[in-house]
Amino acid sequence: MLVDGLVFALLGSALAIGLAGIGSALGVGIAGEAGAGVMTEDPGKFGQVLLLQALPGTQGIYGLLAGFWVLIKLGLFGGTPVAVTVAQGMQIMFACLPIAIVGLLSGISQGKTAAASIGLIARRPEETGKAIILPAMVETYAVLSLLATILLLNSIKL
């Protein structure tokens, strides 16, 4: 069958991994630019900059997690694939959308916040603690969307 439920399910998995990965990549990139700017003037801040730059990387991992979850649910890892109807496949695809969309947009937002935090520690290095909290607050929503995806995926009966 050309149009099989598996197609949609894998599309969902790909979207989750891909879009969330894009969000993280863009976010980490923006933060990295700001970090490079700060380190041009003050190379000693590398440790703190690296840490702040890594913060937006979470969305990619969450997307990967959701993607794996789908693959595990489909039994593709264990080598015993489950038959999937079109309806079920589409259910899986829509269940992956929360982390895909939110991962993309929150990754970019978190990247901008991380860039701003890097600016903060450039002038006030003693406030590293507070500077780390600010981008981490954006992550709450990525976490919630991951939760939504996992709950949705769990509720689908294959």
**153 Cβ neighbours under 8 A, 6+ residues apart:** 66, 69, 70, 73, 92, 95, 96
Residue range at the interface with other proteins (CB under 8 A); choices 2-10, 59-67, 88-96: 59-67
Q: What are phi and psi of 56, to 5 degrees?
A: -70, 0
Which residue reads 């890892």 in tokens? 77
> Between residues 91 and 109, which has the closer beta carbon with respect to other proteins?
109
- Least separation in angstroms between CB 89 and other proteins: 21
Decide if residue 85 touches other proteins (CB under 8 A): no
CA distance 98 to 145: 5
Q: For residue 50, how many other CB atoms are within 10 A of its CB?
A: 13
Decide if residue 97 touches other proteins (CB under 8 A): no
- Least separation in angstroms between CB 35 and other proteins: 6
Decide if residue 18 touches other proteins (CB under 8 A): no
Q: What are phi and psi of 42, to 5 degrees?
A: -145, 80
Residue range at the interface with other proteins (CB under 8 A); choices 1-9, 58-66, 82-90, 91-99: 58-66
Decide if residue 28 touches other proteins (CB under 8 A): no
- Least separation in angstroms between CB 5 and other proteins: 22
Decide if residue 35 touches other proteins (CB under 8 A): yes
CA distance 153 to 69: 8
Residues in region 98-157 near other proteins by CB under 8 A: 108, 112, 115-116, 118-120, 122-123, 126, 128-129, 132-133, 136, 139-140, 143-144, 146-147
CA distance 27 to 111: 4
